[in-house]
């Protein structure tokens, strides 16, 4: 029977440690990678009549109470209900939820006033706001709050941005 010398045993142990260490490094590198996010890019250009209707509806909604499932300025809105209501004023029918809206609308690389901005993770939108120009959006932030205008410079919005949905021509 072949016996393993002390030198061979040490070499095998070193090789085993090296394999374990490389495996751990590869696993950690895999965990450190994240899916790339679209950068939040906006522009302020001319606003046509349909976009003006969307923006005007959003602006009239500022101060309206949040209401889960709501789609009425009189009774309250949630984020996707606000988008649905504003786009309805422009003659565009949207699906009900923010995720359905995200997957329904044509994508825009750079948002223009009147476009929808979607936020979430892993390709699933859980929040939507309306871009109204000047690096701001109007959105219904959640229970106990009111529809408000907010800056897109907030790190939270940048870190959860999925993309923009275009008000189709």
pLDDT per residue over 129-142, tens digit each? 999 999 999 999 99
Residue 50 has pLDDT above 60, yes or no: yes
Largest Cα–Cα separation, the chain: 90
The whole-model pTM stands at 0.77
What confidence tier does 39 reach under pLDDT thresholds 50, 70, 90?
confident
Instruction: Dump pLDDT digits (tens) for 53-106.
Output: 999 999 999 999 999 999 999 999 999 999 999 999 999 999 999 999 999 999
Percent of the chain whose pLDDT exceeds 90 = 72
Is the pLDDT at 108 greater than 70? The verdict is yes
Q: Does domain 49-165 have CATH number 3.90.1720.10?
A: yes
Which residue in the block uniquely carries the two structure tokens 């476009």? 115
Contacts of 68 (CB under 8 A, 6+ apart): 78, 143
The rounded mean pLDDT for the chain is: 86
Q: Percent of the chain at pLDDT above 70?
A: 79
Give start and end residues of each alpha helix (H) in the chain.
6-32, 49-61, 79-89, 98-104, 155-160
pLDDT at 19 over 80: no
- Positions annotated as catalytic residues are 79, 127, 139
Pairing assessment for the beta strands 116-121 and 161-165 based on DSSP bridges: antiparallel
Domain segments of the chain as ranges: 1-33, 49-165
């Amino acid at each position: 029977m072949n016996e393993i010398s002390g030198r061979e045993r040490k070499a095998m142990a070193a090789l085993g440690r090296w394999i374990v260490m490389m495996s751990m490094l590869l696993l950690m590198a895999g965990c450190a990678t994240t899916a790339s996010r679209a950068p939040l890019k906006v522009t302020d250009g001319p606003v046509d009549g349909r976009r003006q209707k969307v923006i005007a509806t959003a602006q009239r909604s500022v101060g309206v109470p949040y209401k889960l499932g709501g789609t009425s300025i009189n009774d309250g809105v949630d984020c996707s209900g606000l988008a649905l209501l504003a786009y309805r004023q422009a003659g565009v029918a949207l699906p009900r939820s923010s995720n359905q809206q995200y997957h329904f609308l044509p994508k825009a690389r750079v948002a223009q006033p009147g476009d929808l901005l979607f936020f979430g993770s892993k390709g699933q939108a859980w929040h939507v706001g309306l871009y109204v120009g000047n690096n701001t959006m109007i959105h219904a932030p959640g229970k106990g709050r009111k529809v408000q205008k907010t800056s897109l410079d907030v790190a939270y919005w940048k870190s959860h941005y999925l993309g923009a949905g275009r008000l189709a021509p």
